[in-house]
Amino acid sequence: MAQDVDSELVHKLAKLLEETGLGEIEYATDTWRIRVARPTAPVTTLAAPPFTAAAPVVAEAAPAIDHAGALKSPMVGTAYLAPDPQSSPFVSVGSSVVEGDTVMIIEAMKVMNTIPAHRSGMIKEILVTSGQPAEFGQVLMVIE
Number of domains in the chain: 2
Distance CA 9, CA 21 (A): 18
Domain that holds residue 109: 70-143
| Lowest-confidence region among 8-22, 39-53, 61-75 | 39-53
In a domain, 61, yes or no: no
**Nearest residue to 130 (alpha-carbon basis) of 117, 112, 109, 144:** 112
pLDDT at 98: 92
In a domain, 27, yes or no: yes
**Residue 30: C-alpha distances to residues 27, 36, 52, 65, 68 (Å):** 11, 18, 63, 36, 36
Per-residue burial over 90-118, b = 16 or more CB atoms within 10 Å of its CB, e = otherwise: bbeeebebeeeeebbbbbbeebbbbbbbb
CATH code, domain with 75: 2.40.50.100
pLDDT digits (tens, 9 = 90+) for 92-120: 999 999 999 999 999 988 888 899 999 99
Calculate mean pLDDT across residues 112-131: 90
* Same structural domain, 27 and 80: no
* Same structural domain, 130 and 77: yes
In a domain, 1, yes or no: no
